[in-house]
Amino acid sequence: MPVYFIQSNSIQNDRIVLTGDLAHHLSAVLRCRAGEIIHLADEDRVRYQTELAQVAENRIVAKILRRERPEFRRTPAILLAQAVLKGDKMDWAIQKAGELGVSTIIPVVTERTIARPNSERARRQRERWQTIAKEAAQQCGRSDFSDVAPVVPLDVLFKNPPEASLKIVPWEQEEGRSLKAALHNLNEEKSIAVLIGPEGGFSSREIEKARDSGWVSVSLGPRILRAETAGMAVLAILDYELYSGGN
Ligand code: SAM
C-alpha cells in the first residue's frame, strides 16, 4: 500500500490539505475519489490513515482517521556510497536502495567514474535522485525514505568517513576476506556503510586509501558483478541477515 509524503505544516486539526504535484497525482493520475482511503507520512515519519473528503484537481482535503506513531528507525542504519554510474543505471541503483531500506545514499565521484557531473548538473541530478528515492519509498510503503547526499569526490569521503561501525568496500580483486567473514559481528553493528565502485572499478590506490580510512575490502565471489548488481546484492544480503525480510 503506497504511502505518500507530506509536510506536517499541511495538517490543520483533523484535516490534511494536499496541493501541488501530490494533489494532481492523486486526482488526475490515480483518479482518486472522495471516500477513498489513502496513507500519508510526514517528515517526522508519523503515518496518517486518511479518508478523502474533498477532491479537486489541485487541492484535496483528507480527513485523518488514524495517526500512527513513527515506526522505529531501522537499526543498524545502512548507508550506500555509490560511485556515480552512467545513464539510468544510477537511477536504478537509487531506486533499489530505497526499496531495500537504505537510510542514506552518497553519490561518489572516483578516478574511473565515467559520468562526471559539473556542480550545477550534480545539484539537479541530486534533486532528481531524491525524487526517485521518495517515489521508491512511497511505492513500497516505507514511512521514511533514503536521503540522497550531495555528490562527493572519493577522497573527500575518505577524509570525512560516514559514522559507521562497519564500513565495507566490495573489491573484485580481494582474495582474503569474504563478505560473510566481514559480517561476523553484524548484530553488534550500530550502522553499516557500503562503498561500491563505478563501471571500471576502483584503482589499487583507491583501495589502499579506503583501507587506510577504515574500510574493509571484501570479495563477493568469483564473478565480476555489474556495479548496480553488486550494490543490490550486498543490500539484499544485509536486509536478509538483519531483518530476514521482516521490516
Ligand atoms: N573492475 C571490474 C571489471 O574489470 O569489470 C569492474 C568493477 S565492477 C563492474 C563495479 C564494482 O562492483 C566494483 O568496484 C566492486 O565494488 C563491485 N564488485 C563487482 N564484482 C565484485 C566481486 N566479485 N567482489 C567484490 N566486489 C565486486
The yes-or-no verdict on residue 246 having pLDDT over 60 is: no
The yes-or-no verdict on residue 72 having pLDDT over 80 is: no
Whether 186 and 202 have beta carbons less than 8 Å apart is answered as no
User: According to the model, what pLDDT value does residue 71 have?
Assistant: 62
pLDDT tens digit sequence for 141-176: 888 899 999 999 999 999 999 989 999 999 999 999
Q: Which of 195, 217, 197 is nearest to 208 (CA)?
A: 217
- Answer whether CATH 3.90.105.10 is correct for domain 3-68: no
**Atom of ligand 1 at shortest distance to CA of 200?**
6
Which residues sit with their C-beta closer than 6 Å to ligand 1?
Answer: 170-172, 196-197, 199-202, 219-221, 223-227, 230
Whether 155 and 83 have beta carbons less than 8 Å apart is answered as no
Instruction: Select the more confidently predicted residue: 232 or 121.
Output: 232
Ligand 1 pocket, mutate which of 225, 226, 232, 237 (most atoms under 8 A from CB): 225
User: According to the model, what pLDDT value does residue 69 have?
Assistant: 79
Q: Which of 35, 67, 31 is nearest to 51 (CA)?
A: 35
Residues 182, 183, 184, 190: is their CA dihedral positive or negative?
positive
As a whole number of angstroms, the longest Cα–Cα distance in the chain is 62
Domain with CATH 2.40.240.20 in the chain: 3-68
pLDDT tens digit sequence for 181-224: 999 988 888 899 999 999 999 999 999 999 999 999 999 999 99
d(CA 190, CA 181): 18
The yes-or-no verdict on residue 121 having pLDDT over 70 is: yes
- CATH superfamily, domain 77-243, is SPOUT methyltransferase, trefoil knot domain (3.40.1280.10)
pLDDT tens digit sequence for 28-60: 999 999 999 999 998 878 899 999 999 998 899
Domain with CATH 3.40.1280.10 in the chain: 77-243
Instruction: Supply angle C-alpha 6, 124, 103, rounded to 5.
Output: 50
User: Which DSSP state fits 91?
Assistant: H
The yes-or-no verdict on residue 247 having pLDDT over 80 is: no
**Atom of ligand 1 at shortest distance to CA of 197?**
14
CA–centroid distance, 235 to ligand 1, in Å, is: 15
Whether 97 and 105 have beta carbons less than 8 Å apart is answered as yes
